[in-house]
Structure 1
Amino acid sequence: MKFLCWNCCGLGNSAKIRELKQLIAVNNPDVIFLSETKMSANDFRRVQNNCRLQNGLAVNSEGRSGGLALMWREGMNVSIQNFSKHHIDSKVRLDDNKTIRVTGFYGHANLNFRRSSWDILRKVGESVREEWVVGGDFNAILNNAEKEGGRWGVRVQMNEFKEVMDEMALVDIKPDSGWFTWVNNRNEGSLIKERLDRFLTSVEVVENFPFIATKVVRQTQSDHDAIILDLWGRKLKDYLKDKRFCFKFDVYWAGDEEAKNVIERAWNREDTEYGEKLKSVRSALGPWQC
């Protein structure tokens, strides 16, 4: 299962919808959680139609702020459990009939209401009996290594975040690529970067999915980057689709004059080591056979 989360900072223009479509097309996620859509549930149907993802739930924005959506691709078995202005909770049945809890979360941006966001997460956690993945924009950092520029994070707020994770027995999944997910460059000369978006999982997920991987995907239409979690991201593929990387010698080539020339040029390069010569031949024949 691939789980994509993005604080899109509004989907009211065609440029952002195009970027969302590209994000989905390139990464092929199974479940998509969007925060700050700044749209009503009815208006969000237009986004679903554009992305060709009819399955989902949208939560209305409040004026020009907020708004959540959870979408999933055709064939996915997803059942919504509960939702609010700050989360959408679901159960996802995987191909092996195992059920996993998947929650999209949006922490309150206003520090005065941050604790209410943590209370929502606690309430969801009380009902979770499955392996659990929580993803989204938490609007919080765990330590000052997750912030660059500006003032250091407030220790009390960071400790509150850690306490919630400890209570819920959630583990922070570090990304394989990328780190900071939010950039504030509105004020010239005061660039601030923070890791506000992340995935948290129950300990059982880490134990039962040893190939789990996450990454940050740069976006241009929002000050937040997207994040993706893949339960099988580090598992070696059973086969490679690109023929250029599936090198096998075909005896037919021995009688092909063009193939002989390709092999001869690659073999007679300056590399003297036998292994390097074989690599050169393989590299040259890969594109040729296509």
Structure 2
Amino acid sequence: MRLLSWNVKGINVSDKWCLIKCQIDDTKGVIWLLQETKWSKAEIEAKMRVWKHQNGFFRQSDGASGGLGIIWKHMNVKISLVGEDKYWQYCLVTTLGQNENFNLFNVYRPSSAGDKQALWDLLSFKLNNNTDGSCVVAGDFNVILSNIKKIGGIQRTGTSQKDFLDFVEKNHILDIVLKNGIFTWTNWILGFSNIVE
């Protein structure tokens, strides 16, 4: 089983929805975590009804920003939604036949300072009170752990990065090494103005 996390930056354009659908159709044994869907729950569920053999949980966007989704094809897992908020979804994943459980958090970090710290505090509480096995915390955190994971632009410093590092260390979270490099975001500007994180 694999987990793929993708900030889709809106799926309110039919071309983008088709791209996501094709990507998911072409992969087996994958749980997709989507952030920033920018759709209402009703719009996404209408799409899922015509898209057979898929399961999912969705949290609608807050106006034109946010929105979360967890999608998987029928496979040997049972996924139960335990809780959600506009910035996170929390599921219990059980692998059928092996009877192994793990907790899965799909996260989209908010932009306001108060909401950021409230999110880290809430996730810390949930992680520290977990009794159902291992936890996976994935998503778009909108922050990097270290400037080693950044090329170009102004180096990040300050409270946001420190708070995220404190959250990771306090909860003994492992930063999983990516398969194809260390960068997950770019500003898509060529030349000296290019930034990758």
TM superposition score normalised by structure 1: 0.62
Larger radius of gyration: 1
Q: How many equivalent pairs are there?
A: 194
SS of corresponding position for 2:15: helix
**Which residue number corresponds to residue 275 of structure 1?**
none
**Which residue number corresponds to residue 168 of structure 1?**
171
**2:72 is the counterpart of 1:72:** yes
**Which residue number corresponds to residue 121 of structure 2?**
119
Distance 1:143 1:112 in 2: 22
CA apart distance, 1:110: 4.0
Q: Counterpart of 1:93 in structure 2: which amino acid?
A: T
CA apart distance, 1:60: 1.4
After superposition, the Cα gap between the structure-2 partners of 1:187 and 1:178, relative to the gap in structure 1 and judged at 3 Å, is closer
Q: Counterpart of 1:42 in structure 2: which amino acid?
A: A
SS of corresponding position for 2:186: strand
SS of corresponding position for 2:5: strand
Give yes or no for contact 1:107–1:117 (8 Å, CA) kept in 2: yes
**Counterparts of 1:42-121 in structure 2 under 5 Å?**
42-49=42-49, 51-75=51-75, 76-95=77-96, 96-111=98-113, 113-121=115-123
Give yes or no for contact 2:189–2:195 (8 Å, CA) kept in 1: no
After superposition, the Cα gap between the structure-2 partners of 1:193 and 1:49, relative to the gap in structure 1 and judged at 3 Å, is farther
Q: Counterpart of 1:161 in structure 2: which amino acid?
A: F
After superposition, the Cα gap between the structure-2 partners of 1:126 and 1:148, relative to the gap in structure 1 and judged at 3 Å, is same
Give yes or no for contact 1:180–1:193 (8 Å, CA) kept in 2: yes
**Which residue number corresponds to residue 181 of structure 2?**
178
Gaps of 5+ in 2: none
After superposition, the Cα gap between the structure-2 partners of 1:190 and 1:29, relative to the gap in structure 1 and judged at 3 Å, is farther
SS of corresponding position for 2:193: coil
Q: List per-residue Cα deviations over 1:80-134 (Å, max 9, x = no partner).
A: 1111111111111114111111111111234554212212321321332211111
Gaps of 5+ in 1: 195-290
SS of corresponding position for 1:193: coil
Q: Counterpart of 1:104 in structure 2: which amino acid?
A: N
CA apart distance, 1:160: 1.6
SS of corresponding position for 1:140: coil
**Which residue number corresponds to residue 159 of structure 1?**
162
CA apart distance, 1:28: 2.2
CA apart distance, 1:159: 2.3
Q: Which moved more, 1:119-128 or 1:179-188?
A: 179-188
Distance 2:67 2:175 in 1: 25
CA apart distance, 1:170: 1.0
**Counterparts of 1:247-262 in structure 2 under 5 Å?**
none
SS of corresponding position for 1:184: coil
Distance 2:114 2:151 in 1: 23
After superposition, the Cα gap between the structure-2 partners of 1:186 and 1:52, relative to the gap in structure 1 and judged at 3 Å, is farther
Q: Counterpart of 1:122 in structure 2: which amino acid?
A: S
SS of corresponding position for 1:115: helix
Give yes or no for contact 1:72–1:78 (8 Å, CA) kept in 2: no
SS of corresponding position for 2:11: coil
**Which residue number corresponds to residue 26 of structure 1?**
26
